[in-house]
């Protein structure tokens, strides 16, 4: 049985390992990242590969290269990272950190940690069908308060 056909036996449906490896060989990182989107990093392709390549690592590299160098920069993320670097959220983080600790030896959870868990559970989450203009009621984490 030819090598590449052997690769397709046993790998999850929709995984195009040979195709994204070919795209990488052509230097088309964008296409490789797109084709490898459905790769679940199971490693089954590598166990069957006669060339002893780790296709799932190649897929991961293609997606990382695309994200770092080829994908358009997101202005709102850049602004949020800059705000964090400037210390805009330091007070909020310190308040959260003041909610106590879990003793690693006993795994005891004190009342302060219970309050922190309650804050997390009761946070306002973005609705699944929210429009682009949705913002949370608490504007602490948004830059355009």
Task: From residue 84, give the alpha-carbon distance in Å to each of 72, 89, 103.
Answer: 21, 6, 29
Contacts 24+ apart (CB under 8 A), 9-12: 9/48, 10/44, 10/47, 10/48, 11/42, 11/44, 11/45, 11/48, 12/38, 12/40, 12/42, 12/44
The beta strands (E) that lie in the chain are given as none
Prediction pTM value: 0.57
21 secondary structure, DSSP code: H
**Could you please report the per-residue DSSP string of 97-114?**
HTT--B-TTT--B-HHHH
Q: In angstroms, rounded to a whole number, what is the distance separating the alpha carbons of residues 16 and 9?
A: 12
Gap between the Cα atoms of 141 and 91, Å rounded: 12
Digit-by-digit pLDDT tens for the chain (145 residues) are 455 555 556 666 667 778 888 999 999 999 999 998 888 888 887 777 777 778 888 889 999 999 999 999 888 888 989 999 999 999 988 888 887 777 778 777 777 788 888 888 888 888 888 788 888 888 777 776 5
Closest to 140 (Cα-Cα) out of 75, 90, 79, 81 = 90
Locate the domains of the chain by residue range: 3-70, 75-121
């Amino acid at each position: 049985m030819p090598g590449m056909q052997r690769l397709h036996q046993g790998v999850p449906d929709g995984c195009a390992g040979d195709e994204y490896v070919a795209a990488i060989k052509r230097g088309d990182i964008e296409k490789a990242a797109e084709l490898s989107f459905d790769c679940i990093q199971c490693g089954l392709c590598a166990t069957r590969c006669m060339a002893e390549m780790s296709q799932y690592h190649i897929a991961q590299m293609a997606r990382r290269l695309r994200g770092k160098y080829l994908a358009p920069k997101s202005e709102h993320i850049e602004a949020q990272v800059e705000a964090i670097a400037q210390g805009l959220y330091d007070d909020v983080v310190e308040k959260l950190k003041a909610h106590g600790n879990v003793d690693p030896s006993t795994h005891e959870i004190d009342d302060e940690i219970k309050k922190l868990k309650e804050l997390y559970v009761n946070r306002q989450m973005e609705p699944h069908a929210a429009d682009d203009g949705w913002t949370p009621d608490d504007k602490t984490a948004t830059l355009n308060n």
